[in-house]
Amino acid sequence: MHYYGTRNNDVTLAYALYKKIRGHLTHKTKAFFDDAYKYFKNDGKKLARSALIQQREFKGQHVTAINAYLKNDKNYLKARKILKNKKIPFIHANISELPKRVKQKVDFINLSNIPNWIIKNDLKIGNERIDNFYNQQLLPLHKLLKPKGIIFFYLYTTKMYYQKDYKKPKHKNNPPLLNHPKIRKQLLNKKEFTSKIIRFKGLCPGDDKIVCLQER
Ligand SMILES: C[S@@+](CC[C@H](N)C(=O)[O-])C[C@H]1O[C@@H](n2cnc3c(N)ncnc32)[C@H](O)[C@@H]1O
């Protein structure tokens, strides 16, 4: 397996490799990489570190720690085989539009850490934001679930918000509301769902969590 860099600090566009696969790419993809390479005066490192590619602040982590399917050829081929025969609909939308746009019922909804974003951006103050999130987002999504279907999302370890590497302005704030167990409870004791929290060791020290809400 070839990477165009395994950590943010050693990343580069592997131009020789790119040339080998270029013929199989769409016109749009070719135009993107060709123009970008030219723009950065054939400097693959500059291109790969630019905002066109690098948008995350996780420095120093190997790509395989974040993407298990890249760990070895076997994992990669397995992921490729699973995806090959699947037709995956892609809907680019705010999650609030999904109840209208998704036409079939589903077993799982993975909300990533979108709940933190929505709750943070709610102009209301205090715990009212949790109820808003529940009523305005989770209840409509609940209608998309098959019986016993699950909505889940992740919460990074609280420690992450105080780490040295994360001392950029946006991380100076307190951890998101849902990281507080008492506040989180407001979301967990509802009649529409049973809830479960799965804790695991993530990339940062401390415990990351997945919050699972299962349709009753
Ligand atoms: C931390 S990122 C998730 C990263 C992604 N799962 C990954 O592993 O690369 C959270 C994403 O949620 C998106 N987001 C925030 N509010 C949203 C909303 N209401 N609907 C859909 N996406 C939203 C943000 O734009 C952001 O890209």
pLDDT in tens, 92-112: 999 999 999 999 999 999 999
111: its two tokens: 């909300």
Q: What is the Cβ-side half-sphere exposure of residue 146, based on CA atoms within 13 angstroms? A: 5
Residue identifier of the C-alpha nearest atom 14 of ligand 1? 114
The pTM (predicted TM-score) of the whole model is: 0.80
Domains of the chain: 8-84 (no CATH), 95-215 (3.40.50.150)
The pair of three-digit structure tokens given for residue 16, joined into one six-digit string: 């020789």
Average pLDDT across the chain, whole number: 87
Give the rounded distance of the alpha carbon of 167 from its chain centre: 21
DSSP conformation class of 12: -
Atom 13, ligand 1: residue with shortest CA distance: 114
**Ligand 1 mutation target, pool 55, 57, 95, 114, most atoms within 8 A of CB:** 114
pLDDT of residue 146: 97
Quote the CA–CA distance of 129 and 122 in Å, as a whole number: 6
Q: Return the DSSP state at 176.
A: P
pLDDT band, residue 166 (cuts 50/70/90) = very low
Could you give the CA distance from residue 199 to residue 212 in angstroms, rounded to a whole number?
11
The pick from 112, 151, 152 for probing ligand 1's pocket by mutation, whose C-beta has the most ligand atoms within 8 angstroms, reads: 112
Task: Give the residue-averaged pLDDT of 9-38.
Answer: 92
| Å from CA of 24 to ligand 1 middle | 30
Asked if the model's pLDDT at residue 55 lies above 80, the reply is no
- Phi–psi pair at 214, nearest 5 degrees: -105, 135
For range 195-205, the mean pLDDT:
86
